[in-house]
Amino acid sequence: MRFAPSDEQRELEAVVRQVLTDRCPPQTVRAGAGSAQVAALAESLAGLGVAGLLVAEDDGGLGLDENHLVSVFAQIGYAAAPLPLTATLAVAPAVLAAGAPDLLAKLVDGSLTVGVDPAETGHVAFGSGVDLVLRGGFGGTGRIEILDVSDAAVSTSPSVDVALDLTGYAGARLVAAVDDPQVVRLAWERGVLATSAELIGLSRRLLDLTVEHVRTREQFGVPIGSFQAVKHQLATALLHLEFAVPVVATAGFELAAGLPGRLRALATAKALASEAAHVVGRAALQCHGAIGYTTEYDLHLFLKRSWALESSWGSAAWHRAALLDDLGVGLTGVRPAS
């Protein structure tokens, strides 16, 4: 198994990274839903054709696989892009191909934006202005409803991550319902994989911000990064991140190859990516001191996004329980609901 990205992956990653660097600085994340900055970011990404990443070439897409999904979403996480990209890039292609194939062309050209609510909470992340909502399919079971929300009544909900733009819809029109177990399973697996990769990117950004801070912040006439306690915290954080990275890459490889045991790799990837983000975020906050708590400082943009994603698409505890189930190990206590 080759963990290093292919040349094609590196090229795609570089192009996406450049667009996100240019179009998604922290000011764009702060601007949030409905802003000109976020609209420009969405237009730039549409111009790359990334919405068709997992759409077959016969349907106008790029025809790539989940290995590329990992590369792209690591960059999305690093920038904390405030768009419903997991839904649009990762989940929607398989669901629309099965339930509303006539909409694939609009998805590919960027004129169709999709939100997702797998746990049927009534809240859609980055939901302002989406055209469709994919509801259901948590855990890769049940059915996924394709809802047209263009004429639905809209409500908003508060979130610790203000850029998350949690939106609810009432009176949505049912376009189709997809209950093919293979499609529902694939949509769930891709959502889990994309979120895991995004957490890797967020963790890297948090670590980079912290390393830069401890190199320049001085106490007692020396950088605080020279203190043994700070070095130990950041070394522990890096260790968790570096353990998670190849596991997420493995999950992408196994999903792309369609290996029968991929559930174990995916569950492990999400559990380790969530745990890494938690450990890195805690170290970042600690090493920044009081400045890390302020909303004026950029750290909180990435920290709060990681908090939201740690529990999205199944928490670390949920995925560990799923892994034990798959291994045939009996569970004790109550299984996590999400």
Does a structural domain hold residue 157? no
Residue 151 lies in a domain: no
Do 164 and 38 form a contact (C-beta atoms < 8 A)?
no
Q: What is the pLDDT of residue 151?
A: 93
Q: Is residue 316 part of a domain?
A: yes
In this predicted structure, what is the pLDDT of residue 8?
A: 85
Would you say residue 120 lies in a domain? Answer: no
CB 73 within 8 A of CB 45: no
Ranges of the chain with pLDDT below 50 = none
Give the torsion sign (CA, 228, 229, 232, 237): negative
Residues 6+ apart with CB under 8 A from 236: 279, 283
**What pLDDT shows up at residue 3?**
62
- Does 241 map to a domain? yes
Count of domains in the chain? 1
Tell me the residue type at 67. Answer: N
> Which CATH number does the domain housing residue 294 bear?
1.20.140.10
Domain span at residue 260 reads 184-327
What pLDDT score does 214 carry? 92
Residue 203 belongs to some domain of the structure: yes
The pLDDT score that the predictor gives to residue 1 is 53
In this structure, is residue 19 part of a structural domain? no
DSSP 190-232: HHHHHHHHHHHHHHHHHHHHHHHHHHH-EETTEEGGGSHHHHH
The reported pLDDT for the residue numbered 220 is 84
What pTM value is reported for the model?
Answer: 0.95
Q: Determine the Cα–Cα distance for residues 127 and 77; give it in Å rounded to an integer.
A: 18
Smallest CA-to-CA distance from 128 within 110, 107, 149 is with: 149
Does residue 266 fall inside a structural domain? yes
**What's the pLDDT score for residue 103?**
96
What is the C-alpha to C-alpha distance for residues 2 and 24, in angstroms, rounded to an integer?
Answer: 31
